[in-house]
């Protein structure tokens, strides 16, 4: 069985990977996320994913494969990261209501001892229905928005807001598993099945 270190504390990413034929270990990165508003969204997420992987790589030894990821929501060229408060989350959801936005997830897979490293990203377009203020308040009361880019979780109650998506569903959750699988299989000789 192949051992992969997930450089993330995200329960969603962990859940995605636990169902596959790998030996999964979680090691959270202590990296403080800093977003440069002047960079393109895909550059932001790939840079953050790479930095997280390097942070974890500095703490371990051996022939380990490290997987890290970072997700952001972009609305009208504005990066919406994780909300800083309930009021901030409400502001984000009001912006997204009745509009489309993009979700970018960058990921990094590396095997330091062998000098292998792949950094890539996925992009998905999400169309939100018009959400009334009562619905937004009810959603915020669930506290599902906490620790979620764009203040919602598509895999939870946030799915009620989604009219349709164009692209990878798993990308919106936080890990574009289709692309991750291709890289693991083609570059690291690891099959998830």
pTM of the model: 0.93
pLDDT at residue 2, rounded to an integer: 62
Cβ-based burial of 73 (10 A; exposed 0-12, middle 13-18, buried ≥19): buried
Residue 55 catalytic? Answer: no
Fold of 2-188: Maf protein (3.90.950)
Catalytic residue among 23, 36, 70, 120: 70
pLDDT at residue 166, rounded to an integer: 98
Long-range CB pairs of 47-51 (<8 Å, 24+ gap) are: 47/106, 48/106, 49/106, 49/107, 49/108, 49/119, 49/121, 50/106, 50/108, 50/119
The full DSSP string for 83-131 is -SSHHHHHHHHHHHTTSEEEEEEEEEEEEGGGTEEEEEEEEEEEEEPP-
Q: Can you tell me the distance from the alpha carbon of 61 to that of 117, in angstroms, rounded to the nearest whole number?
A: 16
* pLDDT by 10s per residue, the chain, length 193: 568 999 988 888 998 899 998 889 999 888 877 777 778 999 999 999 999 999 999 988 778 899 999 999 999 999 998 899 999 999 999 999 999 999 999 999 999 888 899 999 999 999 999 999 999 999 999 999 998 999 999 999 999 999 999 999 999 999 999 999 999 999 999 988 8
């Amino acid at each position: 069985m192949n051992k992969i270190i997930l450089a993330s504390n995200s329960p969603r990413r962990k859940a995605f990977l636990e169902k596959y034929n790998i030996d999964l270990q979680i090691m959270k990165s202590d990296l403080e996320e800093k977003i440069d508003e002047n960079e393109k969204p895909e550059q932001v997420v790939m840079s953050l994913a790479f930095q997280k992987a390097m942070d974890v790589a500095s703490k371990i030894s051996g022939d380990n494969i490290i997987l890290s990821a970072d997700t952001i929501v972009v609305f009208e060229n504005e990066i919406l990261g994780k909300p800083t408060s309930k009021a901030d989350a409400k502001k984000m959801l009001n912006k997204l209501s009745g509009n489309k936005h993009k979700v970018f997830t960058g990921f990094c897979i590396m095997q330091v001892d062998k000098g292998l490293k792949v950094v890539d990203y996925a992009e998905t377009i999400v169309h939100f229905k018009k959400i009334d203020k009562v619905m937004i308040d009810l959603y915020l009361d669930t506290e599902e928005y906490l620790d979620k880019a764009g203040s919602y979780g598509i895999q939870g109650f946030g799915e009620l807001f989604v009219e349709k998506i164009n692209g990878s569903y798993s990308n919106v959750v936080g890990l574009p598993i289709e692309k991750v699988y291709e890289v693991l299989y083609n570059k690291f000789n690891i099959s998830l099945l």
